[in-house]
């Protein structure tokens, strides 16, 4: 028994990167998986990849949904619960950044879009997944933070501030929902070799700066994060809530990366 066989799981931002890798891991361990995102073509490809990795009898589906639109994330939660009538796991992975650079030169709309996607998108996922789980006896919600949300990465402040908000929101939700059977935790990845970070992981001064600040001196993989989410999703972590788990090779022990190197 894997521990999550027969569970249902929703992964937002599940069309690529960490979201896709985590959806594959959950399906391989026996969970029925629903992925959501804004691009249908990408989601269709993701379903094929997840199905190929899935255990026997597992269902995989997608829902086109923007996590910043409440009606759409509510529909995604409802669809994810359909295989068994209960949602067991929600991984609020959708996120990104529309702003990089000095606070003094920042464009207001780019900052707002970054906060909306990361912080408000996670809020809506927690709200609707939490409602569903409370109504059926409990579950596990995992938020997606970042090292940038825990310690400063120069010029990545809008993204980092929104991720810091996610960490605190998960703590608040954990405190509120624990006695109703819902655990809420977060993962805090460092630099990961995926599509989002490919420009950095390809090499250069910024990658070297990352590696110089990591006791375990290597770039992380999608599988590294997926394993952490899988642990927080399942019964193995049944007495853990309100935790933010760094998956970063120890980067959090030192200083943040200097994104100013991209502007040199």
Q: Which two tokens stand for residue 127?
A: 């709200």
- H helices within the chain, ranges in order? 17-28, 40-53, 70-81, 108-115, 121-136, 157-177, 198-201, 205-212, 222-233
CB 247 within 8 A of CB 228: yes
Residues 65 and 91: their CA atoms lie apart, in Å, by 14
Q: Which residues contact 155 (CB under 8 A, 6 or more apart)?
A: 100, 101, 102, 258, 259, 260, 262, 263
Backbone angles phi, psi at 32, to 5 degrees: -75, 130
CA distances from 51 to 37, 59, 131, 183, 241 (A): 17, 8, 28, 27, 30
Residue 163 designated active-site: yes
CB 76 within 8 A of CB 63: yes
CB 225 within 8 A of CB 19: no
DSSP H or E segment with residue 97 = none
Candidates 7, 62, 159, 210; catalytic one: 159
Catalytic sites, residue numbers: 159, 163
């Amino acid at each position: 028994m894997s521990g999550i066989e027969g569970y249902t799981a929703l992964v937002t931002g599940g069309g690529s990167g960490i979201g896709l890798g985590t959806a594959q891991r959950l399906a391989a361990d026996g969970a029925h998986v629903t992925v959501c995102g804004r691009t249908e073509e990408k989601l269709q490809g993701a379903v094929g990849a997840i199905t190929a990795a899935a255990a026997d009898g597992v269902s995989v589906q997608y829902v086109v949904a923007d996590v910043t639109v409440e009606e759409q994330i509510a529909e995604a939660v409802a669809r994810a619960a359909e295989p068994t009538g209960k949602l067991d796991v929600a991984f609020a992975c959708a996120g990104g950044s529309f702003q990089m650079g000095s606070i003094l030169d920042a464009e207001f709309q780019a900052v707002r879009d970054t906060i909306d996607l990361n912080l408000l998108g996670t809020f809506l996922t927690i709200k609707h997944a939490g409602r569903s789980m409370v109504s059926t006896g409990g579950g596990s919600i995992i938020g997606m933070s970042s090292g940038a949300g825990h310690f400063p990465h120069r010029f990545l402040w809008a993204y980092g501030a929104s991720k810091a908000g996610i960490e605190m929101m998960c703590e608040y939700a954990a405190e509120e929902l624990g006695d109703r059977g819902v655990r809420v935790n977060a993962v805090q990845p460092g630099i990961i070799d995926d599509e989002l970070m490919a420009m950095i992981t390809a090499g250069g001064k910024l990658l070297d700066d990352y590696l110089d600040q990591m006791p375990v001196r290597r770039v992380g993989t999608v599988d590294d994060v997926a394993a952490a989410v899988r642990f927080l999703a399942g019964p193995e972590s049944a007495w853990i809530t309100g935790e933010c788990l760094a998956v970063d090779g120890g980067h959090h022990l030192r200083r943040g990366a200097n994104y100013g190197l991209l502007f040199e």
